[in-house]
Structure 1
Amino acid sequence: MDRLSDSSVGDARVAGDADGIDGPVRVDDPSYLVGVPDEFQRLWTPHRMVYIQQGDPGHEGCPFCVAPTLSDEDALIVARGEHAYALLNLFPYNSGHLLVCPYRHIALYDDATPEEVAEIGSLTQTAMRVIREVSHNDGFNIGMNQGAVAGAGIAAHLHQHIVPRWAQDANFFPIIARTKALPQLLGDVRAALADAWPKGDA
């Protein structure tokens, strides 16, 4: 390895190089860094490129507007009401992670009508009871991210998260490996929740 002096490379250092010596290395040869490990693990998710490439899909391409036009199985819808519906999150934090959405393409909670607010609340309560019955969870995280700056993945269409939590669900996977272990396939979760949903209850 052709090493440079500390003064010529500044802070450019790679720990544990081929010689087993820590210290400054050449930075004018990018090929040296090929294959050098770092502290991050990679979970490749090319299916999410659609969100990156398209940005805000708008009303026509909004997944929460499209979902109600599909079958419950295809859209992962658990229950349909008059003004809102509940479906599984395609990228769940925990198994059984539901979203409650109004049919209407609105962005913010204060854009919702009293009827939509009431049904979002009713669906949320029923979802909690059904998830608890099916999954025997210990608690919930419930909330809305309002706007992209607040973390909303699809900011243009209002949606409320209902995330079941268990006492032991914060293990080393998400903390160290930034990975969630999900024990059930989405289709199986949808079927279990839909079967347990009270008939005729939005």
Structure 2
Amino acid sequence: MEAERADQLAGVPDAFDRLWTPHRMVYINGENKPADATSGQCPFCRVPGEDDETGLIVHRGEHCFVVLNLYPYSPGHLLVCPYRHVSDLTELTEGEARELMLLSQQAMGTLRAVSAPHGFNLGLNQGDVAGAGIAAHLHQHVVPRWKGDANFMPVVAQTRALPMLLGDTRRLLAEGWVDQAERTSGGEA
């Protein structure tokens, strides 16, 4: 009986179809969440110091950068973050606020060009109580959506099935971002 139970725990097929998503445990267990609200603990302050591929950065602006979400709701889920460690929209300078919105618009255009979503969810979660995973550093979510992309899995199994690896998604969007920038500026990137 113990051997049979061990086989089931190890993922040996049985009567159930299972979608194993062990990568979600790091998020559930709080990996990459800052120990405190300081910039020294913040992943959004650390990532810009890494190369784009390692940091999953899609685009760098003057005041803000665009990065893939490590725990995406759907393929291409992007975060637009100011470089400066601020927690509230009202703390942004005028230049930061403008660029946050401009990069959110460009992210939508790039996602439309490379993966043709049917719609988007955009949002800023201000504070833990509002659902901010990292409340100490403001970030805007740009989440592409497709008809039928959500099914019973998130509700029943607290699992999302993602068909593309983050590195492949970053490369596709980074390459597409240049094309989008050229389209919007008449050839000047």
- Report the TM-score, using the length of structure 1 for normalisation: 0.74
Q: 1:56, 1:154 within 8 Å by CA — same for their partners in 2?
A: no
2: distance between equivalents of 1:124 and 1:137? 15
Q: 1:167 aligns with which of 147, 157, 164?
A: 147
In the other structure, the counterpart of 2:74 is 94
Q: Over residues 94-138 of structure 1, what are the superposed CA-to-partner deviations in whole Å (9 max), with x where a residue is unaligned?
A: 000000000000000000000000000110000001101111110
User: Which runs of 5 or more structure 1 residues have no equivalent in the other structure?
Assistant: 1-40
1: distance between equivalents of 2:103 and 2:65? 7
SS of 1:90's equivalent in the other structure is coil
SS of 2:178's equivalent in the other structure is coil
What amino acid maps onto 1:111 in structure 2? Answer: E
SS of 2:138's equivalent in the other structure is coil
For residues 172-183 of structure 1, the aligned pairs below 5 Å read 172-183=152-163
In the other structure, the counterpart of 1:155 is 135
In the other structure, the counterpart of 2:176 is 196
- Report the TM-score, using the length of structure 2 for normalisation: 0.79
Q: 2:33, 2:133 within 8 Å by CA — same for their partners in 1?
A: no
SS of 1:123's equivalent in the other structure is helix
1: distance between equivalents of 2:96 and 2:66? 13
SS of 2:74's equivalent in the other structure is coil
For residues 1-202 of structure 1, the aligned pairs below 5 Å read 44=22, 45-48=24-27, 49=29, 51=31, 55-56=35-36, 58-198=38-178, 201=181
CA drift of 1:176 comes to 2.2
User: Which runs of 5 or more structure 2 residues have no equivalent in the other structure?
Assistant: 1-18, 182-188
What amino acid maps onto 2:131 in structure 1? Answer: G
Q: 1:94, 1:164 within 8 Å by CA — same for their partners in 2?
A: yes
Q: 2:34, 2:43 within 8 Å by CA — same for their partners in 1?
A: no
Aligned CA distance change for structure 1 residues 54 and 140 (closer, same or farther; 3 Å):
closer
Deviating more after overlay: 53-62 vs 151-160: 53-62
What amino acid maps onto 2:71 in structure 1? Answer: F
Kindly indicate which of the two structures has a greater share of residues assigned to helix: 2
Q: Over residues 130-180 of structure 1, what are the superposed CA-to-partner deviations in whole Å (9 max), with x where a residue is unaligned?
A: 101111110000000001111111000000000000011121222322210
SS of 1:161's equivalent in the other structure is strand
Q: 1:68, 1:75 within 8 Å by CA — same for their partners in 2?
A: yes
CA drift of 1:198 comes to 2.8
SS of 1:167's equivalent in the other structure is coil
Identity %: 51
1: distance between equivalents of 2:25 and 2:119? 32
